[in-house]
Amino acid sequence: MANQVNGYSYNRNQVKAGILHFGVGNFHRAHLEYMTNKLLENETQQQWGICGAMILPGDDRLYHALKKQQGEYTLTVCGRDDSINVYKNRCARRTLLGYRGAGADPCQDCQQGHQDHHPHHHRGRI
């Protein structure tokens, strides 16, 4: 078993979202986010953070789990030589849940006040 978790050293506040990826499932996190996390260690490449769009009804559970963990998760890599390495990843700059179902409020996750962020939604209601 691995003795330590390999973390990242870049400042997440410096990372900009330069990739929009639809689907943030296991394959995405184990491959694209893993490699992007390594790329972001290079200060000249920090414009390549990921904005993950979760658009399927089944994405709700994973979206809320990642949100609760502030986007961080661990990835265990088992080598052909029986080595085990554990990495802490968090290169998704933002994760969006696009599926809400019929009649749902599309602005449910807005960080700003709903009216301030989407004033066109409130015409005639102020």
CA 61 to each of CA 30, 32, 56, 68, 96: distance values in angstroms, whole numbers, following the listed order = 18, 21, 11, 11, 13
pTM of the model: 0.70
Neighbours of 81 (CB within 10 A): 5
Neighbours of 15 (CB within 10 A): 20
Place of tokens 């639809």: 22
pLDDT per position as a tens digit, 62-79? 999 988 988 889 999 999
pLDDT per position as a tens digit, 12-45? 889 999 999 999 899 999 999 999 999 999 999 9
**β-pairing verdict for 84-89 and 73-78:** antiparallel
> In the chain, what are the domain boundaries?
5-100
Per-residue pLDDT at 92:
77
